[in-house]
Chains A and B, each alone.
Chain A
Amino acid sequence: MALNTLEFHVKIDEGTKSIDKPVHLGVVGSGDMEVLMEPKDLKGAVSIKLVTPVAGFDELWKRVVETFVSETLLGDVHLEINDNNATPAVVLLRLRQAFAEATGE
């Protein structure tokens, strides 16, 4: 199946915080995804590179990642996501789990 690559940035205005160490979480099983979250100097922004077999859900991905970034106040972080049809619920769950592991929260 053809894969789509989606790259975008998210930046919030409030004071952001980065993470200390890179983390990797999840597997590219059916209905699941893996995420690599690493610190990177992006002038407070979060960059996302996403590979997914699903087409036509770009706006939905952006909304989900924006929610995650605004609730965590994340900045200066690069996210790489390899998706295999994860639902938004799974996406948020994996991102939150990765964030918790990276920050020890």
Chain B
Amino acid sequence: MSTNGTEKKWDRRSADTAERMAAAARFIGPGKQFKPEDTVALLEAVIRPGDRVNIEGNNQKQADFLAESLNKVDKSKIHDLHMVQSAVPLPVHLDLFESGIAKKLDFAFGGPQAGRVAEFIRDGKMELGAIHTYLELFSRYFLDLTPKVSLICAYKADKKGNLYTGFNTEDTPTIVEATKFSQGIVIAQVNEIVDELPRVDIPADWIDAVVQSPKPFFIEPLFTRDPALITDSQILLAMLCLKGIYGEYEVKRLNHGIGFLTSAIELMLPTYGAELGLKGKICTHMALNPHPTMIPAIEDGWVQQIHCFGGELGMEKFVAARPDVFFVGPDGSLRSNRAYSQAAGQYACDMFIGGTLQIDKYGNSSTATANRVAGFGGAPNMGSDAHGRRHSTDAWLKCGAEQPTLDRTLGNMPRGKKLVVQGVETFGEGRAPVFVEELDAWKLAKNANLPLPPVMIYADDLTHIVTEEGIAYLNRAPDIEARMAAIRAVAGYTEIGLKADPAETKRLREQRIVMTPEDLGVDRKRADRSMLAARSIQDLVTWSGGLYNPPARFRNW
């Protein structure tokens, strides 16, 4: 009811959008198309100072042309934007803050610009909202961080403005849903405009304007690991993982991180995995990008189903030829979706395994360094126990039941736990110790005025650490003292590891809280590259029957 004689309005958002679109109407022709040369003027028409704006881009595809155009707007007209977006990997994402077009950032992943993010925060050029995980940020798109304007990218548009995002659908549906259904404005860059799309991924009436970009959008083959670069140490760690964790818990549903260790594991399923009799017992369902190093295991019949966050350059034909394994559209090409795959990784996976730069003496881990606000993308979603989970699997139940502390919080109530595994060599690049007294994340928090140190995986979620010294089964530790002792026992020659007490390590081994390669029956001498089902990119092409088409930089023949 009206109080001061003014009528209460309920459509301010759509009225605001209509007003902005009216100002942009002169640039927009049939099929919602506008010309590349009108892009800056169109952005100036639809964006207002202080708007929440999303530029699509994650660690894979990028709406780069629209990002560059946003940098060219008149700063007296558009300034102090609040950017809400998955990632800021391109220089232009940060240039916006340099010039004052943008002021505040809420994001999930910094990538190559991580150093500038820290610098800008320190210098007052950027106000940081928070470093999120993907699902956390996507969730906020639907509550308190809904974009007013989103700049997205797709492979193709048709003459009506329908979009084909295809292989690299990734974040697009989530961004468009949040923006369009809150009466915001969605602008798309596409590589080409065609008469007929292979399939419609985003319907035209969810899109306000489309431009054919002068060049195809940038995309990074971030998940391609050359088997030729896998080391014997990584192979030893992979043997420990397969025998001491995958086999021990019979983990069927899982996510793999991006590193060389998990690539080694993928390439050792048809070899060491088969020798251990694990085919059909592990790795049958995965939330995973189409990693080229999965080709041998897929061809060998290990995997029933894979759902992908995004695509991977060169894997298009292989995926299309394996529709029983991957999710493909009626046109036969992959449909990836980051939000759904992250949800699967968090709720439907029994295990996450990945690497990190640092682990502290309690088991907290982070890839943040003192001067880089890197963010973590998906690892913290998948590398955390999903407390809302209610369905059970053997692996989840076993990991939970092994916790001696369960009765202290839940009485006699059984509950499972996700396996969260960090696989690391005790020393990383440049002989930097991975095990540290205190994470560099604390220094970063101080340097960049963050309210708390950015932790990738918290100690209470971490269940296992694998190093060349063996496996620490942290879920079996009765208290934090035993947990810290188990970490010391696998920390090798780092300062943390040198504090290990041999008598205590012996007790932990007797209790199976720590197991060395010898305890597990893993023969170190066998840790060499003959364990890999494919030893080069060319081997992967051969395994794929010629369907895998590696990007030029991975071709050395």
10 further contact pairs, Cβ within 8 A, besides A89-B236, A89-B468: A57-B431, A60-B431, A64-B493, A87-B233, A87-B428, A88-B492, A89-B426, A90-B232, A92-B468, A96-B524
Asked whether, in the complex, the Cβ of B231 is within 8 Å of the Cβ of A97, the reply is no
How many chain A residues have a CB neighbour from B under 8 Å?
Answer: 18
Asked whether, in the complex, the Cβ of A89 is within 8 Å of the Cβ of B233, the reply is yes
Also in contact, A89 and B525, with CB within 8 A (given A31-B231, A32-B231, A64-B493): no
The 8 Å CB contact of A96, one of B231, B428, B525, is B525
Q: B28: shortest Cβ distance to chain A, in Å? A: 54
**A-B CB proximity, top 4 nearest:** A89-B468, A87-B427, A89-B425, A88-B493
| A93 on the B face (CB < 8 A) | yes
The 8 Å CB contact of B527, one of A32, A64, A87, A93, is A93
Asked whether, in the complex, the Cβ of A97 is within 8 Å of the Cβ of B525, the reply is yes
A63 to B425, CA, bound (A): 17
| B467 on the A face (CB < 8 A) | yes
Q: Which residues from chain A contact B233 at a C-beta distance below 8 Å?
A: 87, 89-90, 93
The 8 Å CB contact of A89, one of B427, B430, B498, B528, is B427
Q: Which residues from chain B contact A63 at a C-beta distance below 8 Å?
A: 493, 498
Q: Which residue of B lies closest to A56 (CB)?
A: B431
| A54 on the B face (CB < 8 A) | yes
Asked whether, in the complex, the Cβ of B231 is within 8 Å of the Cβ of A90, the reply is yes
The 8 Å CB contact of A85, one of B431, B498, B527, is B431
Task: Give the contacts of A65-105 with B (CB-CB under 8 A).
Answer: 67, 85, 87-90, 92-93, 96-97, 100
Asked whether, in the complex, the Cβ of B524 is within 8 Å of the Cβ of A93, the reply is yes
Q: Which residue of B lies closest to A61 (CB)?
A: B493
A70 to B232, CA, bound (A): 23
Q: Which residues from chain A contact B527 at a C-beta distance below 8 Å?
A: 93
A22 to B231, CA, bound (A): 25
Task: Give the contacts of B229-284 with A (CB-CB under 8 A).
Answer: 231-233, 236
Also in contact, A89 and B524, with CB within 8 A (given A54-B431, A57-B431): no
Q: Interface of chain A, helix or strand or loop or mixed?
A: helix
Q: Which residues from chain A contact B525 at a C-beta distance below 8 Å?
A: 96-97, 100
Q: Which residues from chain A contact B231 at a C-beta distance below 8 Å?
A: 31-32, 90
Asked whether, in the complex, the Cβ of A88 is within 8 Å of the Cβ of B232, the reply is no
Q: B519: shortest Cβ distance to chain A, in Å? A: 15
A31 to B468, CA, bound (A): 15
Task: Give the contacts of B138-182 with A (CB-CB under 8 A).
Answer: none
Q: Which residues from chain B contact A87 at a C-beta distance below 8 Å?
A: 233, 425-428, 431
Contact with A along B519-552 (1 / 0, CB 8 A): 0000011011000000000000000000000000
Asked whether, in the complex, the Cβ of B492 is within 8 Å of the Cβ of A89, the reply is yes
Q: Which residue of B lies closest to A89 (CB)?
A: B468
A85, A87, A88: which has the most chain B beta carbons within 10 Å? A87
Of the A-B pairs whose beta carbons lie under 8 Å apart in the complex, a sample of 26, sorted by A's number, is A31-B231, A32-B231, A54-B431, A57-B431, A60-B431, A63-B493, A63-B498, A85-B430, A85-B431, A87-B233, A87-B426, A87-B427, A87-B428, A87-B431, A88-B427, A88-B492, A89-B425, A89-B467, A89-B468, A89-B492, A90-B233, A93-B233, A93-B236, A93-B524, A97-B524, A97-B525
Q: A91: shortest Cβ distance to chain B, in Å? A: 9
Q: B96: shortest Cβ distance to chain A, in Å? A: 38
Q: Which residue of A lies closest to B494 (CB)?
A: A88
A89 to B425, CA, bound (A): 7
Task: Give the contacts of B364-384 with A (CB-CB under 8 A).
Answer: none
Q: Which residue of A lies closest to B430 (CB)?
A: A85
A89 to B429, CA, bound (A): 12
Contact with A along B419-451 (1 / 0, CB 8 A): 000000111101100000000000000000000
A54 to B174, CA, bound (A): 48
The 8 Å CB contact of B426, one of A57, A85, A88, A93, is A88
Contact with B along A17-54 (1 / 0, CB 8 A): 00000000000000110000000000000000000001
A31, A67, A90, A100: which has the most chain B beta carbons within 10 Å? A90
Q: Which residues from chain B contact A100 at a C-beta distance below 8 Å?
A: 525
Q: Which residue of A lies closest to B428 (CB)?
A: A87
Q: Which residues from chain A contact B498 at a C-beta distance below 8 Å?
A: 63
Q: B475: shortest Cβ distance to chain A, in Å? A: 24
Asked whether, in the complex, the Cβ of A93 is within 8 Å of the Cβ of B431, the reply is no
Q: A82: shortest Cβ distance to chain B, in Å? A: 17
